Amino acid sequence: MDKRYRAILPDAELRFVRSMGEASRALDVRKFDLLIVGVRFDESRMFELLWLMKARSLTTPVACIRGCQVDSALSSVAGIDAAVRSLGACDFIDFRDYPDNAEGNAKIHQRLLACLAEKGLPAERAA
């Protein structure tokens, strides 16, 4: 998945963390322009990370993603979308809706730029 993120954001400085502990420490020592967190982050702790950010009053834009090929009902996808937005995420992107090619990655890139713009950050910082 890291390879796809690099294709989507080729000019961005990316920092990957794999656990809540790593994420918490990274948020303690550095300001990020955008956080991208997957549904299956650290054994499905995406919602916990969103709560942590809310508790700390962090205003960093967060895009939540689902990148794995797991079948689920459309209603559960809509439920996840509503839940992450209620916790402050700017978007929920299901990577399964976009082919892993230049066109699909460009569309995801645009959605991530929209998250930055929503928080008043210059889009070129992630371009």
Model pLDDT, residue 127: 39
Question: Would the pTM of this model clear 0.75, i.e. be above it?
Answer: yes
CATH number of the domain within which 41 lies: 3.40.50.2300
Q: What are phi and psi of 84, to 5 degrees?
A: -70, -35
Q: What does the pLDDT read at residue 2?
A: 85
Domain span at 6: 2-125
Q: In this structure, are residues 74 and 46 in contact, taking their beta carbons and an 8 Å threshold?
A: no
pLDDT in tens, the chain (127 residues): 789 999 999 999 999 999 999 999 999 999 999 999 998 888 889 999 999 999 999 989 999 999 765 555 556 888 999 999 999 999 999 998 999 999 999 999 999 999 999 877 665 544 3
Q: pLDDT value at position 118?
A: 83
pLDDT score for 126 = 46
- Tell me the sheet residues that pair with 65: 38, 93
Cα torsion at 25, 1, 65, 124 (round to 10°)? 80
Domains identified in the chain, total number: 1
Cβ count within 10 A of residue 39:
20
- How open is the CA angle 31-36-39, to the nearest 5 degrees? 135
